[in-house]
Chains A and B, each alone.
Chain A
Amino acid sequence: MSIRMKFLPAFVLFFWLCAVLLARSVDMHGNGIDLGAILAAPNAAHWFGTDDLGRSILARTLRGAEVSFVIAVTVTLVTMSVGVLVGLLAGFYGGKIDRFLMQVTDIFLAFPGILLAIAFAAVLGPGMTNLMIALCLTGWVGYARLTRGQALSLRNRQHVLASLSLGASVPRLLIKHILPLLGSILIVEATYSLASIMIAEASLSFLGLGIQAPNASWGAMLRDGVRYMLVAPHYVLIVGLSLMSLILAINLLGDQLRDKLDVREA
């Protein structure tokens, strides 16, 4: 791959981050309603056109990106911490604890895809906080399974056994001797999960379960875009392409990290 292609994903991600920060710094919130200019096609005043309430799609896309970033990072951090803790305990102790914890994850995994997140978000009620709670409640399982598998094989490594025989405590073993070896696989996993949480957030918002009006979110914008597809195809197209560029960039970055850190897929 040529050198320019190599940096493309990182560049796209960087571009989005800069754009979001820029929009934030000039206080571009995209909530200004202009009923004289609804569903306008891209023009000089509004580069991406306007939505069904005459709000700038550019501003709202950037605002939606910001929401996406915030949720993805927060949920990833929370689910990773919880999942890694559960996985370490299950993998390290084995036996009954392991069986119980894995039984619980089996139950969570019996709900396909984001069904459980939809169910949680549905009963918790809409809103950004509840959306994040719903995603956290379901997101830890993957990390738990991953970490458990790794911990199972790592706990019999010589340096762990040596440390154990020298009388190291369990927290010390886990934190100093096992966790560092999980670093690269977790970084790769976290990168992919940023993308999948952005998708999940947008899915839930698409269904009306996430971010509520008038706040912008890509899911809700896509839903509105579908509604006005016949009169204003640019709306759905712009939001769709934005989402695609960001998701693709993050996933490709994940691939690059995986190759770089030499993580084999589980």
Chain B
Amino acid sequence: MIKRLLNIIPVVFGVLLLTFLLIHLVPGDPVEVMLGDSASIADRAQLREDLGLNQPLVSQFGAYLGKLAHGDLGKSIHTNTPIVDLLKARYPATLKLACLSLLIGLAIGIPLGIYAALKAGHWQDFLVTIVSVRFSAMPAFWLGPMLMLLFAVWLGWVPVSGMDEPTSILLPALTLGFGLSAILTRMTRTSLLEVLNDDFIRTARAKGLGEKTVIVRHALRAALLPIVTIVGLQMGSLLAGTVITETIFSWDGIGRLLVESIEKRDYPVTQACVLAIALSYVLVNLATDLLYAHLDPRVKHVI
């Protein structure tokens, strides 16, 4: 467990380094790109000073880390607001969206996966598998507009976009949740099928337990373990998916903040958003691993 904790240190360091270097990948002079041609020489010098771009690269990185440790992510070039405040304002919306999507994904994926596993080899299984395998490959910017067209434009059940009404969250959450549910369906099916061949299931059946008890109390409990890992890993694509989904549905989360900052060439904000999403992902993965070790004592010594 300690090893797993130590493992994330180089990764976090690398993530910080890579996000720090982002701004240096801007072709030409980043200050010029950010401020445009019309900015005065004084303004440019000021921004260069603020971003510390006139320092050597190593001390820039040191300063970046130092500021970060104090929770200082710099200021937005456009609004001059501290970036931390921007993130604080936007992050909860993304979190809300991600959590609801996760719930939708679980609520659809697990029952469907169980159903497919129990019907293994029949046409129902075939249908569920084909649909789920292929739908997991369909991107949010495809599914989002299609759902929008169906439920908001043609059926008119929910608002097209924005976040003014309580039902506004439904379409973006469904967009993200469907993709997740497809993966969960597949994993639940595979995992349950594997477990169903185990000795302890035969024992449970042999001692005369009803099929329902065997599935729910015995098989499912063992089969759902790998699902924990998948959910953790998929949180990452969920977080990345919010960038597109939030943009489609005008959902004011961190993903949309990222896209807005890119459009305005507000690179410090871009940097901070990328960092926030990547670090969330690293932490979710860590939490998943620790949770898994807690749920399955067999892996405790591995991580």
Contact = CB atoms under 8 A, between A and B. Distances in A.
Q: Do A and B come from one complex?
A: yes
Interface of A: 103-104, 106-108, 110-116, 118-120, 122-125, 195-196, 199, 202-203, 206-209, 219, 222-223, 225-226, 229-230, 233, 236-237, 240, 243-244, 247-248, 251-252, 255
B15 A107 contact: yes
B91 interface: no
Nearest to A119: B274
A123 B270 contact: yes
B186 to A, nearest CB: 11
Contacts of B139: 199, 202-203
Interface in B236-262: 236-237, 239-241, 243-244, 247-248, 258-259, 262
Candidate in B11, B14, B139 with the most chain A CB atoms within 10 angstroms: B139
Report whether over half of chain A's contact residues are helix, strand or loop; otherwise say mixed. Answer: helix
A253 to B, nearest CB: 12
Contact of A110 (B14, B33, B149, B259): B14
A115 B145 contact: no
B150 to A, nearest CB: 10
A196 B237 CA distance: 13
B145 A240 contact: yes
B140 to A, nearest CB: 8
B200 interface: no
Contacts of A195: 137
A123 B26 contact: yes
B142 A110 contact: no
Nearest to B28: A125
Contact of B145 (A107, A226, A230): A226
Name the 8 nearest CB pairs between A and B, nearest first: A113-B240, A112-B236, A107-B14, A122-B262, A112-B240, A112-B281, A199-B139, A119-B274
11 contacts: A104-B14, A110-B12, A110-B15, A112-B236, A119-B274, A122-B267, A125-B33, A196-B137, A207-B259, A226-B145, A248-B137
Interface string B141-153: 1101110110001
Interface string B1-25: 0000000001110110111001101
B67 interface: no
Given A113-B236, A207-B259, 8 more contacts: A108-B18, A111-B15, A111-B281, A119-B274, A123-B23, A229-B149, A230-B160, A252-B134
B277 interface: yes
B153 A230 contact: yes
Contact of A124 (B27, B160, B248): B27
